[in-house]
Amino acid sequence: MAAGSTIDALGQFELHPVLGQIGEALRFSQSPLFMLIAIVAVLAFLYLGMRPAAVVPGRLQAAAELGYDFIHNMATETIGKEGTAFFPFVFAIFFFILAGNYLGLIPYCFTFTSHIAVTASLAILVFLVSILASFKYQGVKFFTHFMPEGAPVFLAPLLIPIEILSFLSRPVSLSIRLFANMMAGHVLLEVFAGFTLMLAGLGAFGSVLAVAPVVINVALTALELLVGVLQAYVFAILTCIYLREAVAH
Count helices and strands in the chain by DSSP H and E runs: 8, 2
User: pLDDT of 211-247, one tens digit each?
Assistant: 787 888 888 889 999 999 999 999 999 999 999 988 8
pLDDT tens digits for range 156-197? 788 888 888 988 899 999 999 999 999 988 888 888 887 777
In order of 32, 134, 150, the CA distances from 144 in angstroms are 40, 11, 11
Q: What is the pTM of this model?
A: 0.87
Give the residue among 155, 141, 125 at the shortest CA–CA distance from 248: 141
Do the beta carbons of residue 93 and residue 239 sit within 8 Å?
yes
